[in-house]
Amino acid sequence: MKVLVIGSGGREHALVWKIAQSAHASKVWCAPGNAGTALETVAKTGIQVENVPLGAEDLKGLLNFAGEHKPDLTVVGSENPLALGIVDRFQNAGFRIWGPTQKAAQFESSKVFSQEFMKRHGIPTAKAASFSEPEAARAFARELEGRCIVKADGLAFGKGVLICQSVEDADRSIKSILKEKAFGEAGNRILIQELLVGREVSLHAICDGKSYQLFPTSQDHKRALDGDQGLNTGGMGAYFPTPFFVAEALEQARQEILDPWLAGCQAEGIDYHGILYPGLMLTEDGPKVLEFNSRFGDPETQVYLRCLKSDLIEILEASIDGTLNAVNLEWSEGVSVCVVIASGGYPGSYTKGQRITGLETADDLSGVKVFHAGTRSSKPDIITSGGRVLGVTADGNSLEAALKTAYTATEMIQFEGAFYRTDIGAKAISWRADPHSISRGSLNWSTNKA
Ligand code: AMP
Ligand code: GLY
């Protein structure tokens, strides 16, 4: 089977890596890919993965490529092409593609759509309202005493979310998005949510229109710096599985979030095939949805796929065909972690083109796989080309062991300005030592398995 993967980040490298191991893959392309995707080899045929110089949003170019090379399956990694309707376009042209349609992808491409959907179907979320006029928005922010999150409705490369602690903060954020258009058209409308307090976890469900299968939870680290300080980023590291949102809590998420979501989709004629990734805040009142994403998380994918034993192509095919009931998702017993190495200055401005050293030595360590994100080949070197540059993943029998290996590998890799968080997984370790240390309410609805 010939497979085309669309995207260029760490998530797409992980998808390419896992797909290349499938018993069904004979040829794999990645558009546009990165320096790491082009280093992978398809296990069955020994053919190297080929990067295709087409951007993930170049729908016309990608359709032409599909017309010429006839991939048997196209896998969409990132949200922007989904929001642009790549799945509809490929399907109309007769190509098999995995991911939600433009209508279904609205769960991520419009935060207002998602919030209204949750309200209609009784899905627990933050108190919220949407606005296109600043005055009404300011009044609502006052009701929340300024402790709120102001979100651009549309896609803004993960940046359109402003955290406010005061009425002044909220006024500034409302003005910046609605009037000054800090996020362009994505901010024609805003959503204001109450600020929820608790621990954040990532839920992933693979869906086939009629049913879904829930993955065990993982945890991302959104802020740039240790101790959850600094600006929000795309994600600075992850680990899988989390010790604190398991078994009974997952069952609760199933009943309160995923089941009403699926029933809502069916009632509203939304045929959802793909990943639904709800970002959850575990509050004292139980889990609440912060947002829905319509694709795999990044860097969650990197840790999920290190632990997924099943053949990914079989899962994606079942998601397209509506046959997920017949598929068994098998996970390894171990733990996997991912430490993201970023360019100095990220998520603000940063330089590109820095030469990276130590990659091979790190990758050669037992249990380590370095996924590339913002990298480019500049023969004979690999150089930086983005904010999040690499995701160093390691597996182990325990979180502590996996972290030790991951950080040993991370320290071997160097480039000018490189930085990473040193506290990935620390919340799980402190929670295990004292479950009350983080959130007292959490024990009411989670099982202490670890
Ligand atoms: P989103 O893109 O909506 O996931 O928001 C990005 C990040 O902002 C989330 O991962 C959370 O860390 C934070 N966030 C979003 N909404 C809320 C909320 N209502 N309360 C607290 N934090 C939030
Ligand atoms: N892990 C954050 C995201 O993928 O949006």
pLDDT tens across 316-332, in order? 999 999 999 999 999 99
More confident residue, 128 or 157: 128
CA distance 123 to 265: 13
On the 0-12 / 13-18 / 19+ scale of CB atoms within 10 A, 94 is: exposed
Q: Which residues contact 406 (CB under 8 A, 6 or more apart)?
A: 337, 338, 339, 368, 392, 393, 394, 424
Ligand 2 atom at shortest distance from the alpha carbon of 299: 1
Asked if residue 58 has its Cβ within 6 Å of ligand 2, the reply is no
**Sign of the Cα pseudo-torsion (364, 343, 430, 159, in order):** negative
- Residue with the smallest CA separation from ligand 2 atom 4 is 297
> Can you give the pLDDT at residue 450?
23
DSSP string, 191-245: EEEEPP-SEEEE--EEEESS-EEEPPPBEE--EEEGGGEEEE-S-SEEEES-SSS
Q: Which carries the bigger pLDDT value, residue 77 or residue 284?
A: 77
The pLDDT score that the predictor gives to residue 436 is 62
Asked if 364 contacts 305 with a C-beta cutoff of 8 angstroms, the reply is no
Residue nearest to atom 10 of ligand 1 (CA): 222
Is residue 382's pLDDT more than 80? Answer: yes
Confidence of residue 432 (pLDDT cuts 50, 70, 90): confident
Mean pLDDT of 279-299: 95
Whole-number Å distance between alpha carbons of 398 and 124: 33
Q: How many CA atoms lie within 13 A of 265 on its CB side?
A: 24
Mean local confidence (pLDDT), 143-148: 97
For the chain, the domains span: 2-99, 133-188, 199-435
User: Mean pLDDT of all residues in the chain?
Assistant: 94
Q: With a 6 A CB cut-off, is 126 part of the ligand 1 pocket?
A: yes
Q: Does the Cβ of 317 fall within 6 Å of ligand 1?
A: no
Tokens of 206: 């693979």
CA of 185 to the centre of ligand 2 (A): 21
293 Cβ below 6 A of ligand 2:
yes
pLDDT for residue 280 is more than 50: yes
Q: Whose CA is nearest to atom 6 of ligand 1?
A: 161
Q: Tell me the three state secondary structure of residue 82.
A: helix
Give yes or no for residue 199 CB within 6 A of ligand 1: no
pLDDT at 244 (0 to 100): 86
The average pLDDT across 360-373 equals: 98
Q: How confident is the model at residue 19 (pLDDT cuts 50, 70, 90)?
A: very high
pLDDT surpassing 90 at residue 249: no
Question: Is a pLDDT exceeding 60 seen at residue 223?
Answer: yes
Q: 283 CB under 6 A from ligand 1?
A: no
The domain 2-99 is placed in CATH, from the list 3.40.50.20, 2.60.40.60, 3.40.50.1460, 3.20.20.140, at: 3.40.50.20
Half-sphere exposure of 345 (CA within 13 A, CB side): 9
Q: Is the pLDDT of residue 442 over 50?
A: no
The CATH architecture assigned to 199-435 reads 2-Layer Sandwich (3.30)
Give, in degrees to the nearest 5, the angle at Cα 349 between 348 and 350: 120
Encode pLDDT of 58-93 as tens digits: 999 999 999 999 999 999 999 999 999 999 999 999
291 lines ligand 1 (CB under 6 A): yes
pTM: 0.95
To test the pocket of ligand 2, the residue of 12, 15, 204, 220 to mutate (highest count of ligand atoms within 8 Å of its CB) is 220
Position with higher pLDDT, 156 vs 101: 101
- Give the CATH architecture of domain 133-188: 2-Layer Sandwich (3.30)
**Residue 247 banded pLDDT, cuts 50, 70, 90:** confident
- Which pLDDT value is given to residue 158? 76
Instruction: Confirm or reject: Cβ of 149 under 6 Å from ligand 1.
Output: yes
Q: How far is the CA of 16 from the centre of ligand 2 (A)?
A: 18
71 lines ligand 2 (CB under 6 A): no
Confidence of residue 157 (pLDDT cuts 50, 70, 90): confident
Q: Give the Cα separation of 41 and 49 in Å (integer).
A: 6
Cα of 8 from ligand 2 centre, angstroms:
14
pLDDT computed for residue 159 by the predictor = 80
Residue 108 Cβ < 6 Å to ligand 2: no
What stretch of H or E contains 364? helix 359-364
Return the best residue to mutate from 277, 281, 301, 338 for the ligand 2 pocket (most ligand atoms within 8 A of CB).
277
Closest-lying ligand 1 atom to the alpha carbon of residue 293: 4
CA 416 to chain CA mean position, Å: 27
Check residue 443 and give its pLDDT.
30
Mean of pLDDT values over 21-38: 98
The pLDDT of residue 444 is 30
